[in-house]
Amino acid sequence: MFQRILVANRGEIALRVMRACREMGIESVAVFSEADRGAHYLEMADKKICIGPAAASQSYLVPKNIIAAAEIGDAQAIHPGYGFLAENSDFADICRSSNIEFIGPPHEAMAKLGDKVTAREIAVAAKVNVVPGSDGLITNEAQAIEVANRIGYPVLIKATAGGGGKGMRVARNDHSLKSGLSAAAAEAQNAFSNPGVYVEKYVEKPRHIEVQILADNHGNAVHLWERDCSMQRRHQKLVEESPAVNLPASVRQDICKSAVRLVKSAGYTNAGTVEFIVDADNNFYFIEVNARIQVEHPVSEMVTGIDLIRQQIRIASGEELNLKQKNVPCNGSAIEVRINAEDPDNEFCPSPGTITKLCVPGGLGVRFDSHVHAGYKISPYYDSLIGKLIVHRPTREEAIACMQRALREFVIEGVKTTIPLARKILANSDFREGKFDTTYVERTW
Ligand code: MV4
């Protein structure tokens, strides 16, 4: 087992990893940029090392600064958290060649699954449902038109190096397909230095269902059931929950088993999330793998009782999974709302500033994962996440009532937050009846 782990991240996820380390008797090395100097959460670490100026491009995103900090701090492993370098296969490879364990998947599996066309091919080989679409990259217009007319409009043009919704274009006829192809390729080249695009049948008003996976280096893999992340706005998740509401047990089993089959066939290890979309008839389709621990991981921790960061560290140290699938329960209902320092009355634009008052809710089944405190300054340099409020109760109805009570109690002053929006969603009858999909927020508000 590692003696010391460098946490190559900041904020709530850095604190989350440090907490797991401390409970495991592992020392932690925190890194911070000039903008995060003096942040209270850094005190949870045994050592803290400055890695550069405020700009992420000169600090949290610079592999050589992270590796240098790991060497100075004498860390045997690095946990990347989410965002920043977490899904950068080059960084994972640099860790390997620096003889520092990367707490995540092998860089080969990360690279393979990070390419969406390759990921689709792996899914097809593993007999996992994919959306009807092109057989590989689109290389010319005529091919695209042939594919679109074979699968039927509307179609979705996607960047193979993309993900998370970036660089997608809907086309509803040959004309918009042609213009969409060149626009998507240009955007993909610009954003990912890879213009490769592919085409899929556009599944209208899908639900976003993702499966949490843990896989060790000895061929064992388990799922920790599914999360429903359909309540989102412009690819920003607002509410996540487990189990998914109104999903037939047989479909849940198929989705979760498909996810395990896929990661095993890809040689994927450590924690990962297999993302699906589900149509109105409960047909599910593989979309992509998120090769990292995700913001919403606590939802799965609550219903299974499994500490995902602890499992990641155990797997990276070469230990066998101490979990059998039949012993991974899905108890009760967990709901998470993300609380961002954003102004809901101004297009949710970031609202950095100093938190002048903070009253955090508590009580049975209430968890708030956050690095902030009264007097904490929300930086304009990084994402606006203040923290995640998670509740866990025996039934979804009780969880909703608990979340509403907790949101009512919650006081954050000094910055605008998304708490009022969260209250609105939790009070919404369609949400409470499970009648929502990924287009609900845009359609309703
Ligand atoms: C789709 C889709 C519908 N049809 N693919 C791509 C990124 C991933 N995170 C979600 N993505 C989707 N892929 C096909 N063939 C719908 C989504 C999707 C989505 C698309 C547009 C706007 C918001 C969305 C939210 C969740 C899922």
Helix axes 308-316, 11-24, angle to 10 degrees: 70
Residue closest via CA to ligand 1's atom 25 equals: 438
Domains of the chain and any CATH numbers: 4-103 (3.40.50.20), 132-201 (3.30.1490.20), 207-444 (3.30.470.20)
pLDDT of 345 above 90: no
Residue 344 is predicted with a pLDDT of 87
Average pLDDT over residues 369-392: 98
How big is the CA angle at 433 (ends 429 and 437), to the nearest 5 degrees? Answer: 95
- Peptide bond between residue 154 and the one before it cis (omega within 30 degrees of 0): yes
Residue 166 is predicted with a pLDDT of 80
Q: Quick: pLDDT tens for 221-270.
A: 999 999 999 999 999 999 999 999 999 999 999 999 999 999 999 999 99
In angstroms, the CA 11 to CA 16 distance is 9
- How far lies 414's CA from each of 75, 352, 384, 433, in Å? 37, 9, 14, 34
In angstroms, the CA 399 to CA 332 distance is 9
Chain position carrying tokens 């990347």? 80
Nearest residue to 27 via CA among 70, 75, 64, 65:
75
Q: Is 292 a catalytic residue?
A: yes
In angstroms, the CA 328 to CA 305 distance is 9
169, 292, 338, 393: which is the annotated catalytic residue? Answer: 292
Residue 165 is predicted with a pLDDT of 81
Q: How many angstroms is it from 224 CA to the middle of ligand 1?
A: 23
Looking at residue 379, the DSSP 8-state letter turns out to be P
Residue closest via CA to ligand 1's atom 7 equals: 165
Residue 164 is predicted with a pLDDT of 78
Q: Which residues line ligand 1 (CB under 6 A)?
A: 131, 156, 164-165, 168, 200-203, 206, 208, 232, 235, 275, 277, 287, 438
Q: How many angstroms is it from 165 CA to the middle of ligand 1?
A: 6
**Model-level pTM greater than 0.85?**
yes
